[in-house]
């Protein structure tokens, strides 16, 4: 791996997707439709599967996406602006994301060794689970400047949380603004203190229109959000559309050099008093990846829950091979 990264180079909007299963293919499809990437390279150990996905992606109406899409290998990582890692075993209905750690850490380690051989530029975005653990380990293995390896983190949890709140209040999801921090998993922390509806704090909004919204309602919303993935997996064995749209939003921030604040996961170094762990916190995302983590004010309860989330992730990280 080159020790010097040229941050002044011209972006080609080249994206490499490692792992072309349902998630990887859905990401490629979303990138194509949104015309965010100029070139998309599909990398998978199953070449015939990758080639079949390529043909399917190419056979849409020509004016709905103009990106060059092709099947490649790890050597194509050279010159990429965004390297997306989706490879790994899928979660089963009775598993937490952290349960996947032992198996997926081996797959991710092998991928990191291949990336090291050909890496010249760009940021590395981890989609595979357990997202926080794999992001932390990949950051260690690649040794890039902090934030250039980061994970999708709680962007999907936040989208789900906003959807559940919107359904309860009978409003459109884009009327609700909130943040979810911590683990992308069971110890995620919805920030009720940051939740608003049409710009009005949620408690004030509910009081104004006489909607009951106490502790019981909050707990039900949180539980529904946490169990959303399990419900989807039980029904169709996998989730992929939601994370593809979230990843597409992140990719736009990176490839368009459009700084955007998102709750993605990266290694913390003192933020919120936490170190040696990767968690989602409000983060400025741009062409340098998770370029700056923001320490926003949160309540004492939210801070306590964030520390508990950090401990849950750190415990798994410490069990993983170096």
Residues annotated as catalytic are 184
Q: CB burial class (10 A; 0-12, 13-18, 19+) of residue 61?
A: exposed
Residue 18 near residue 87 (C-beta atoms within 8 A)? yes
Task: Give every CB contact of residue 307 below 8 A, 6+ residues apart in sequence.
Answer: 272, 273, 274
Hey, which bits of 67-148 come out as E strands? Answer: 68-71, 82-85, 123-126
Residue 40 near residue 32 (C-beta atoms within 8 A)? yes
What is the C-alpha to C-alpha distance for residues 171 and 208, in angstroms, rounded to an integer?
A: 15
What is the C-alpha to C-alpha distance for residues 125 and 139, in angstroms, rounded to an integer?
A: 10
The two tokens of residue 110 are: 């092998």
Quote helix, strand, coil % in the chain, to nearest 5: 45, 20, 35
What is the C-alpha to C-alpha distance for residues 20 and 271, in angstroms, rounded to an integer?
A: 34
């Amino acid at each position: 791996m080159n020790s010097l990264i040229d941050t002044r180079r011209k972006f080609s909007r080249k994206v490499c997707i490692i792992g072309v299963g349902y998630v990887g293919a859905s990401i490629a499809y979303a990138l194509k439709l949104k015309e965010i990437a100029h070139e998309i390279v599909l990398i998978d150990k199953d070449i015939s599967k990758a080639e079949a996905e390529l043909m399917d992606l190419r056979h849409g109406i020509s004016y709905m996406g103009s990106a060059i899409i092709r099947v490649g290998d790890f050597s194509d990582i050279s010159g990429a602006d965004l390297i997306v890692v989706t490879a790994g075993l899928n979660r089963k209905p009775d598993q937490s994301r952290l349960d996947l750690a032992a198996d997926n850490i081996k797959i991710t380690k092998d991928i990191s060794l291949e990336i090291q051989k050909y890496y010249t530029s760009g940021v590395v975005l981890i989609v595979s689970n357990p997202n926080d653990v794999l992001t932390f380990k990949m950051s260690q293995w690649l040794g890039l400047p902090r934030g250039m390896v980061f994970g999708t983190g709680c962007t999907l949890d936040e989208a789900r949380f906003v959807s559940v709140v919107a359904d309860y209040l009978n409003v459109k999801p884009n009327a609700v603004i909130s943040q979810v921090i911590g683990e992308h998993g069971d110890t995620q922390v919805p920030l009720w203190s940051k939740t608003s509806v049409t710009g009005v704090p949620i408690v004030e909004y509910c009081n104004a229109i006489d909607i009951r919204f106490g502790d019981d309602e909050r707990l039900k919303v949180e539980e529904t959000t946490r169990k959303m993935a399990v419900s989807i997996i039980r029904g169709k064995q996998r989730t992929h559309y939601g994370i593809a749209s979230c990843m597409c939003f992140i990719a736009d921030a990176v490839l368009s050099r459009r700084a955007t604040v998102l709750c993605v996961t990266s290694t913390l170094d003192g933020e919120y008093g936490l170190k040696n762990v990767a968690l989602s916190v409000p983060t400025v995302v741009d062409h340098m990846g998770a370029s700056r983590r923001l320490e926003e004010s949160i309540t004492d309860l939210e801070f306590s829950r964030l520390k508990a989330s950090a401990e849950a992730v750190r415990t798994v990280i410490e069990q993983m091979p170096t």
